[in-house]
Each structure stands twice: as structure tokens, then as C-alpha cells.
Chain A
């Protein structure tokens, strides 16, 4: 009993995890202008993330020790409570929320430290840190919430922060399809996300109609409690599809993937934190959090897997031909997020979350490394204008190299474990074609990443040595790189598959053990439905084979990239681009998806709005109606006003009239 009380008290601490970044935001937002020292601002901003990180670790250790099987809900404050609708701020302590909280605050803290160096001398230094803290606050609300509404608040909040930070250098030019400056890119990100958010909102309405509640736990229990028969779940399919629409917006999947590459207009730490490590994984979080609902809607699961697969493949192909260092990484992010959705779609929730974690390490690192390069190259981002940076920026090079190995899936680096688990799940729980496409995407990944590495750090120096003097970045930037490199290299050992770890433990996959209580219900539903007994503890010969094949694929991608770009003239890639000009252009133009959207959706919308809605409907009908109503109201007011004569006898007469009417009404009702 005492033990239980202690844990409950302990979990109350979760309130402070989002609160501290909020305080940081308020301090920096309100007084940052007057703090002249960058070091002070940087310290406040970083501490506001570091303290929640420590608290998350404490909670994490406690959860591991206590083996809690159901989430602990910590109510903070109820805003409205009427009838069935209760709008409250309350947080949920469980394995999933704490894991995300650790990733967000941990990686977030490193990126804050990095930003102190990267943003040095910027005239809006304090504004930058204020926004970053606000982002961390919103993101933590998103993942720690115990109900859809608070998650939605965080969801919108991170969208706002993303908007603010993409357009942070609001007076700079930025190139893109119909984009001329950073503000356009910010608008694009925001508006594209609105479409997804619309889906999320409708999903929430449907959830409330179906379950009379918006609490995750209530909904989960009602759904898992057998209220819905498998394959007879039209409403759940609708809910989950709409929710997934929200996820495709936030996590940049087809069809809403177009905003993320342009989001690179923001400062590079922002790209690392928001557009690689944390915010874009919100979609994965949402599905993982509602794994039971998705497990009950197999059609949606199929859609999720296919969309993920398509995104992983197409984004990887676009990445092959991009020349902007951040654009390559952006398409890589889209592609890797696709991998995560494949995992969720085939029911391997743990694998998806695992890839979120390893991806946060290595993609965060890649972006920070890219930032370091950009910093050293005086804001040059075109990799064709780089080369040979290895000797100027050794730390950046080595850490970038580690991350590249990790994302390519070289054995025993973190990406190997998580990506391999996804591919194996796709093979065993899905279809071999899914595996094949996924493996091809992985091949492309290895290729474009090593292309990036080669062009940036190896070969001859293609920049103008008179104007550009590459230099290593300061310690505040390199130390986060080193820490992330260690995590990228070793982070995978948290999720050793049974096939590789069976010799030392019956449950070698620590992450799976840890997340098991969260996904237990969903896994049960899926295994009952598919009549498959969980295959976790069997070793399949195929699994070893696939592991070997995917390693081979990664190595061949690396070999090819190495071969193609070691030649100073790049004769092979040039010849390919020349011979397959059509394909090359299609890839270079990102399948012309932007142009397609502009032609089919954006332009018709604008045209209809301008020539019909505005000039005809609004001006003639709406304005006419409003003005007419206004005139009528005023007219009524003026008329009634005349009754107010100021003569007391008249008032008495009107009163008497009223009295007679009321009494008359009573009499006729008798």
C-alpha cells in the first residue's frame, strides 16, 4: 500500500516535465530582449530542457523498476466538466509516453546546446530559444497527454512552432516551387498540415460520438473490451483513416509529404529537432498510442503500410539526385518515416517506435553535421560546391560517417537493428513484395547517403578557396555531435532481435520488453484475428538469410556510390543522367507533385475564391445580407427606442399592459 502511494506521488512529477520548458519560454519570450549575453539565454533555454530530461530519466527508471502494467493518469486541472464532455489537462505516465519524453528532451537538449554555437551572433538569438522551448513544451504535451484534446493542443502547438521556426529568418530568400522566401515555405508547411489536422479533428468528433469519451485509456479499454467485432468495424476504419490523414500531414507522408523538403528553409538545428527527430514522428506516436483502434481496423492498417511503403520508396528515389545537403536529408527523413509507417501498418508497433528512436539519433546527428558543414562553409548548401572537407572538419566528418553507416544499415549500428526489424516484420507479417520494395528503398538509402558523404567530405575541393575557408565548428556544436554519434552507433543494442540474442537471453529485445504492456492488447487482437501465434521466440532460417541479404544490399549501395563518385569527373552518374534524362528530371523535380497540386488544387481554389467567392458571393450576397441585417437591427433599435418616452405615466401604462397580458395568459390556461 505504502509502495503504491509512493509511486503515485512520484508520478505526480510528470507535471513538471512540460511545465519547465513553458517557464523557459515565458522567461525568454518576455525578458529575452533585455538579456544581452548569449550565454545566459542559451543556459536558460538548455536548462529548461535538461531538467525535464532528468525528470524523465527518474520516471523511466521507476517504471522499469515497478513494472507498471497500466498507465498512471495524473490529472492536473479540469477546465470544463459538463455532462459527458470533460476537458482536462491530465498526463499519462506509461512506457510509451516516457520513451518519447526521453527522446524529445534528450535529443532536444543536445540540439539546444548545439544551437548556442550555431546561432551565435544572430540578432534574434533569444527569440530562437524562446521558440525552441515553446516547441518542447508543446511536443511534451502531445506525447504525455492522457486524452486526445490535449494531444491535439500539442499537435497544433508544434505546428505553430514549426511555422514560426521555418520562417525564423523571415527576410531571407528560399528557392522552391512557387516559393521565393522563407515565409512561403512556412506558409506551405502550415497550410498542408491544416488538411491533416482537419482529418484529426473529424476523427476526434467520431471518437467522442462512438465512445463518449476522449480519454485514451477509456477509448482503449472500450475498444479492446470487445465492443467491436473484428472485420465489422466500419466506424473504427473511418476514425483510424481520418486519424491517419492527420499523421500523413504531420509526418510528411504521401499525399501530404510536400511540405517537409521546403521546411528546410528554417535554421538547421530546427530541421534536426523538429523536422527530423521529434515533431515529424508525432504521427507514429499517435498511431502507437491508439494501437488498439488500428489493430481493430485491418483495412486502415493495410493503407498505413502501403502509404508508408510508397513514401519510403519514392522519397528515397528523389534523394538520389538532390544536390542541396539539407534537401537530401529531408527526403531521407520522409523515406525513413515511411519505414516507420510500414512497421505500424504490419502491426510491428515496437519496431516502429524503435526506428523513431534510432532515427532521432542518427538523423538528428546528420542534420547537425550538415549544420556544422554549412556553418563552416559560410552558408553554402550545394554539395557539388563542396568536397574534401574531411581534413578541415575531422569531428564533423567522423560523426557524420557514423550516422551514415547507421542509416545505411551496416550491422551493429543502430539503424541496422531497427530497419532490419521493420523489413523482417514486413516479410513475416506482411508480404514478400513489401520486403522487396522496402529493401530496394534501403539500397537507395545507402547509395544516396554515401553519395552525400563522398561529395561533401571526400574528393577534390570544389569550392573557391579565396572566399571560403572551411573550419571546424566550436565545442558547443561538436560535443552534441559526438554524443549523438555514440548513440547512433550503440543505440541499436536496446533492440537486439531474438534471432541474434537468443544465446544470452530469452528476451534480448529490451525495448520490446519495456513497451510490451503498451502494445499487449493490440498484439493480442492482431494475433487472434490472423490466427497466428506470436512468433517472437522462434528462430527462422529466413530471418538470418534476410539479414544477410539486407547487409549485402547496404554494402552494394555503398560500393556503387563509392565507385561512381571516386572518379573526379563523375562520368558514370553523368552518363546515367544523360541517357535517362526523362527519369532524372522527374526525380529531380520530385515527381512534379508540387506542380500537380498547384494545377489541380491550389490554383482552382484560388481562382474560385477570387472570381466567385470574393467578387460575387461575398460582395453581393454575404455583404448584402450582413449590411441588410445590420440596417434592420438598427431600425428595430430606433423604433423600440421611441417607446422610451421618459414620461413616467407612459411607463406605468406599458407595465399595466404587460400585467394584463400575463394574467390573461394565466386565465386562459386555467
Chain B
């Protein structure tokens, strides 16, 4: 097999499993088969992506760019392979946690699993994109599957409302993304990110179109990560969607959009000596920094006022988009490393927290008030401990991975001379302590409510274990992840 095809294996396998999953759904109508098939698919994808790590990188150097089947539209290896594993892993955790939940709350339908697979394929395509068109296709595959996932509980008004809001506002934002891409094409004459970079460095670009295009892409992507002021859909959608799916959307979905951010802005904000370009770069960086600061503050302040844990976590996910944007605003390798590290940590803790919610949720959305968590440590000590770990990690307290993610991001901002941004980030982190610790307070120091909650784990035990283990391992040995990430950029 050609070396290029070997590198493409993760994409090929996920596409194969997506297509077969849809076909089998239609033909067999067997839920267990669909469930198992999608799990097998994601495990195979993780395997093939790991395989691309061990292919000697020397051979990658020998690939001549002209002779590629993919015409240089796709990026191989490195962070792309890394994120293949991360996204497929997140999908796997989601599917494992979903079965018992959707069966209990609505009913198990085959399409749920294929939807997750399709979403993962879109996310992977984002990571592999080396061309704005591929990037756009990846984003749209992911987003459209999310619209459907949000409305999965088709009898629930909240779920349908979430889906519709997400779809309407998403389409609105997508328009800006496409327009931005078009302007960037007009400014530089190419959709290929490498050519865009070389044209920018060579000074062959239209200044106004370039800035407008960058700004519009920034707006489109900001919507996808739910950054201020394009965040308002997020709390409504995350609260209305099936809980496990919200976890998946708000964690892996956000990470995928952040990768898109890195890929685009790493290429259109190159470090060069061209004074015009430096000025433009600073402008875009400043805009991102302001968005990041507002997002963090707004997300955390609003989360303070929430009494529903699911909604609170939705706002906290807005705040986390702000932290992640710091890495983009810094526009240096520490920042990208930080985004990569924090994405992994964030997927583990956010998804973990939502899975905990899904375990105790009953009758669509009940049992999710803050007061329902009172005394959880006595009725369900393990569940309470897990939730406490996720909350501490989200709050950024060592020895959990969340701490180091924030640490790298803050360091990158200092390196990029955004000291004020770091100060804002630290302050908003302190604000966030209040509501994260508030849950722990409820669980450990309040008397249990009169009717004890029931916990229904099913297979959710596995993803919960993975999440906690990952948070502890990467928190105690951050270099395991940080060294790998640093090598990518």
C-alpha cells in the first residue's frame, strides 16, 4: 500500500464505518449490532491513527507534494493523527455512556450511533484539513450532525427548540465563515493554506480583503466555539439536548472548532518581518484576545447565577472557550501546545461531568438542580468523588490535568505579552471556583435530600473511569502529553 494511503487510513476507516453503519441501520434494524459496530469502528480508527504515528516520518519527507492523490488538500500525521485518536476516543466514551441513558430517557434508535460516527468523521476531517474547503466541509459535517443530535429527543419540546435554535443561528454563522473563506481566497488567490502563507510572506495579497476575510472567519469560528458575543445559543442548546450528547458537543465539538482555529490562524498569521502583516497580525490577535477575555468573564459570571447544574456547566463551557482562545491569541507554539493539552483535559472533564449528570438524570432534565446534589457523597460516594474530581479539574486545581492546561495557556499569553489577558484569566478562574466548589460543597457538606437519587451506570462506568484516569495521569505526568504536543508545532 502506498505510504500516502497508509497515512490516510484513519480517514478511510472512519468513512468506511460511517457508510456501513448507515447501511446496516437500514437493513438490519438491530440496535445491539449498531452499537457494537460503531464501537468497533471507533476502536479501529484509534488503531489506524496510532499506526500513522509509527510510520517512519522519513517517508513523509519523501512524499512529493505534486504526486499526491489528495493534491495537498489533506494534512497527515502529527497533530492530525493525535486528534484522530482524541476525537475517536471521545466518540467512544460518548457511545458507551449513551446507551443506558437514551434507552431510559427516550428510546434507543440506531441512527444515534451513526450520528456520533458521522460527527467524529467531520471532526477528524477538520484536523486533517490543509485547505480551507476541506476545513469547511469538516466543520459542516460536524455541525449538521450536531443539529440533529440536539433534537434527538424528538418528543421533547426543549430538545426540538435546542435543535432549531442551533440550526438557525448556526446557519447564520456559517454564512460568515463561507464569506470569510471567499474573501481570503480573493485576497491571496488560493484556498491552500500553505500557499496562502507563502503568498502572505511574499507580500502577494490584498490587504483589505485579507483583513475582512480573517475577521469573518474569526466570527464564523467564534460561533462554533461559543465565544462572546456569539455564545448565546450554547446554554440553550446544551441544556435542551440529550445530556450525553451535550457533553460530546460541548467538549469534543469545541475542541474540533479550536483545531480549526489553530489551523487557520497559524497559517494566516505567520511570524514575518513584513510591517504591514505584523500590524494586521497584531490587530487580529487583539480582537481574539478581547473576545477571549469577554468570553471568560461572561461565562463565569453567568454560571455563578445558575441553579441548574447542567445549565451551569453549559455556561462554564462558554468560559472554557475563552481560556482556549488565549492560546490562539498568543499565536505561538506554547499557545497551540496549551490548546492541544487543554482540549484533551477539557474533553475528559467536561464529558465526564456530563456523563455523571446523565447517570442521575430522570425524566428528561429532572434531578439536575444544584439542591439535588446535596449529600450525594453519602448515597453515592463513588459518583460524588468522580464529580468532585471533574469539578476540581475544571476549576484548575492540581494535581488534575485541568491545572496544567490552564498553566500552559497562561504562560503562552505571558510570552506573547498579553499580561492583562492572563490577569483577566486568573480572575475569572477565581470566580469560577465559586460554582465548581459549590457543587462539591453540596455533595459533601449538605444533608441528603429525603428521596435518595438513583444512579444507573450501565456501561458509563468505562468512560467515567477513562476520564478520571486520564485527568490524574496527565495531571501528575503532564510531560507525557505536553512533550508530544510541543513536538507537533
Using CB atoms, name the residue of chain A closest to B164. Answer: A648
Q: How far is the CB of B311 from chain A (nearest CB, A)?
A: 10
Bound CA–CA A641/B235 (angstroms): 11
Return the contact of B301 from the options A78, A80, A81, A640 (Cβ within 8 A). A640
Are B301 and A662 neighbours in the complex by a CB distance under 8 Å?
Answer: no
Q: How far is the CB of A507 from chain B (nearest CB, A)?
A: 46
Using CB atoms, name the residue of chain A closest to B230. Answer: A655
Q: How far is the CB of B105 from chain A (nearest CB, A)?
A: 22
Return the contact of A633 from the options B232, B279, B431 (Cβ within 8 A). B431
Using CB atoms, name the residue of chain A closest to B232. Answer: A651
Instruction: Answer yes or no: B249 CB below 8 A from chain A CBs.
Output: no
Task: Report chain B residues within 8 Å CB of A80.
Answer: 404, 478-479
Bits for B291-321, please: 1 = Cβ < 8 Å to A, else 0. Answer: 0000000100111111000000000000000
Return the contact of B236 from the options A77, A641, A646, A659 (Cβ within 8 A). A646
Instruction: Answer yes or no: B208 CB below 8 A from chain A CBs.
Output: yes
Return the contact of B304 from the options A82, A637, A644, A663 (Cβ within 8 A). A637
Interface of chain A residues 179 through 206 with chain B (CB within 8 A): none
Bound CA–CA A630/B433 (angstroms): 12
Instruction: Answer yes or no: B36 CB below 8 A from chain A CBs.
Output: no
Bound CA–CA A79/B480 (angstroms): 10
Instruction: Answer yes or no: A531 CB below 8 A from chain B CBs.
Output: no
Instruction: Answer yes or no: B471 CB below 8 A from chain A CBs.
Output: no
Bits for B228-258, please: 1 = Cβ < 8 Å to A, else 0. Answer: 1110110110000000000000000000000
Chain A to chain B: the 7 pairs with minimum beta-carbon distance, closest first:
A637-B305, A658-B229, A637-B304, A651-B232, A637-B301, A636-B301, A666-B215
Instruction: Answer yes or no: A670 CB below 8 A from chain B CBs.
Output: yes
Bound CA–CA A614/B301 (angstroms): 30
Instruction: Answer yes or no: B465 CB below 8 A from chain A CBs.
Output: no
Bits for A47-89, please: 1 = Cβ < 8 Å to B, else 0. Answer: 0000000000000000000000000000001111111000000
Bits for B169-211, please: 1 = Cβ < 8 Å to A, else 0. Answer: 1001100100000000000000000000000000000011001
From known contacts A662-B287, A663-B212, A666-B212, infer whether A651 and B165 are also in contact, taking CB-CB under 8 Å. yes
Task: Report chain B residues within 8 Å CB of A651.
Answer: 165, 169, 232-233
From known contacts A77-B477, A640-B298, A666-B283, infer whether A652 and B172 are also in contact, taking CB-CB under 8 Å. yes
Task: Give me 9 A-to-B residue pairs in the complex whose CB atoms sit less than 8 angstroms apart, sorted by A's number.
Answer: A82-B411, A640-B302, A644-B232, A646-B236, A651-B165, A655-B169, A655-B172, A655-B223, A669-B211
Instruction: Answer yes or no: B5 CB below 8 A from chain A CBs.
Output: no
Bound CA–CA A648/B167 (angstroms): 11
Task: Report chain B residues within 8 Å CB of A657.
Answer: 229
Bound CA–CA A80/B306 (angstroms): 36
Task: Report chain B residues within 8 Å CB of A666.
Answer: 211-212, 215, 283, 287
Q: How far is the CB of A71 from chain B (nearest CB, A)?
A: 24
Using CB atoms, name the residue of chain B closest to A88. Answer: B479
Are B434 and A648 neighbours in the complex by a CB distance under 8 Å?
Answer: no
Task: Report chain B residues within 8 Å CB of A567.
Answer: none
Bound CA–CA A403/B173 (angstroms): 86
Instruction: Answer yes or no: A171 CB below 8 A from chain B CBs.
Output: no
Q: How far is the CB of B192 from chain A (nearest CB, A)?
A: 24
Return the contact of B230 from the options A83, A646, A658 (Cβ within 8 A). A658
Hey, which bits of chain B sit against chain A, CB under 8 A? 164-165, 168-169, 172-173, 176, 207-208, 211-212, 215, 218-219, 223, 228-230, 232-233, 235-236, 279, 283, 287, 298, 301-306, 404, 408, 411, 431, 434, 477-479
From known contacts A658-B229, A662-B287, infer whether A641 and B305 are also in contact, taking CB-CB under 8 Å. yes
Q: A79-B479, A80-B478, A637-B303 are in contact. List 12 more A-B contacts (CB 8 A).
A: A79-B478, A80-B479, A638-B305, A643-B232, A646-B236, A648-B169, A655-B169, A655-B173, A655-B230, A657-B229, A662-B287, A666-B212
Bound CA–CA A271/B76 (angstroms): 64
Are A641 and B302 neighbours in the complex by a CB distance under 8 Å?
Answer: yes
Are A654 and B229 neighbours in the complex by a CB distance under 8 Å?
Answer: yes
Task: Report chain B residues within 8 Å CB of A652.
Answer: 168-169, 172
Bound CA–CA A658/B295 (angstroms): 12
Task: Report chain A residues within 8 Å CB of B283.
Answer: 665-666, 669
Q: How far is the CB of A81 from chain B (nearest CB, A)?
A: 7
Using CB atoms, name the residue of chain A closest to B479. Answer: A78
Task: Report chain B residues within 8 Å CB of A81.
Answer: 479
Q: How far is the CB of B162 from chain A (nearest CB, A)?
A: 11
Using CB atoms, name the residue of chain B closest to A654. Answer: B229
Are B235 and A665 neighbours in the complex by a CB distance under 8 Å?
Answer: no
Instruction: Answer yes or no: A35 CB below 8 A from chain B CBs.
Output: no
Bound CA–CA A82/B434 (angstroms): 29
Interface of chain A residues 116 through 144 with chain B (CB within 8 A): none
Bound CA–CA A670/B212 (angstroms): 10
Instruction: Answer yes or no: A634 CB below 8 A from chain B CBs.
Output: yes
Using CB atoms, name the residue of chain A closest to B304. Answer: A637
Bound CA–CA A657/B219 (angstroms): 12
Are A634 and B229 neighbours in the complex by a CB distance under 8 Å?
Answer: no
Task: Report chain A residues within 8 Å CB of B228.
Answer: 658
Interface of chain A residues 574 through 623 with chain B (CB within 8 A): none
Bound CA–CA A630/B435 (angstroms): 12
Using CB atoms, name the residue of chain B closest to A83. Answer: B411
Most chain A CB within a 10 A radius of its CB, from B208, B215, B229: B229
Using CB atoms, name the residue of chain B closest to A640. Answer: B302
Are A659 and B219 neighbours in the complex by a CB distance under 8 Å?
Answer: yes
Return the contact of A648 from the options B165, B287, B304, B408 (Cβ within 8 A). B165
Bits for A509-530, please: 1 = Cβ < 8 Å to B, else 0. Answer: 0000000000000000000000
From known contacts A666-B215, A669-B283, infer whether A644 and B434 are also in contact, taking CB-CB under 8 Å. no
Bound CA–CA A80/B208 (angstroms): 43
Q: How far is the CB of A264 from chain B (nearest CB, A)?
A: 37
Q: How far is the CB of A102 from chain B (nearest CB, A)?
A: 31
Bound CA–CA A659/B164 (angstroms): 22
Are A654 and B232 neighbours in the complex by a CB distance under 8 Å?
Answer: yes
Interface of chain A residues 320 through 374 with chain B (CB within 8 A): none
Using CB atoms, name the residue of chain A closest to B169. Answer: A651
Bound CA–CA A636/B434 (angstroms): 14
Interface of chain A residues 255 through 292 with chain B (CB within 8 A): none
Q: How far is the CB of A496 from chain B (nearest CB, A)?
A: 49
Task: Report chain A residues within 8 Å CB of B208.
Answer: 670
Using CB atoms, name the residue of chain B closest to A80. Answer: B478
Bound CA–CA A662/B208 (angstroms): 14
Task: Report chain B residues within 8 Å CB of A636.
Answer: 301, 304
Are A670 and B211 neighbours in the complex by a CB distance under 8 Å?
Answer: yes
Q: How far is the CB of A644 from chain B (nearest CB, A)?
A: 6
Most chain B CB within a 10 A radius of its CB, from A77, A633, A641, A655: A655
Task: Report chain A residues within 8 Å CB of B306.
Answer: 641
Q: How far is the CB of B206 from chain A (nearest CB, A)?
A: 12
